[in-house]
Amino acid sequence: MPLRLDKLPDRTPVRISIALDPELASALSDYAEIYRQTYGAEEKPEALIPAMLESFLGSDAGFKRARRALNANTGD
């Protein structure tokens, strides 16, 4: 019997390490502090980065068009 909800995709986190310029690291720390002041919840910058990247990629129309074309060409 088919369910209305499809099988969930793989949600296993993938760990990626990056090196940041000091200015960017400082900006991320400032962002985390402003986030704390705004929402009353303390989050480390590294916990905010995935949501920031998702928001950035989700708002980039050129990226979305190119990604659809890429996936159409590769069959993914």
pLDDT block averages, 10 residues each, the chain of length 76: 84 94 98 96 95 95 96 78
pTM equals 0.76
Residue 62 lies in a domain: yes
Q: What is the DSSP string of 22-45?
A: HHHHHHHHHHHHHHHHHHS----H
CB 41 within 8 A of CB 48: no
Does 14 fall in a domain?
no
Domain contains 8? no
How far apart CA 25 and CA 5 sit, in angstroms, is 40
**How much is the pLDDT for 2?**
81
* Number of separate domains in the chain: 1
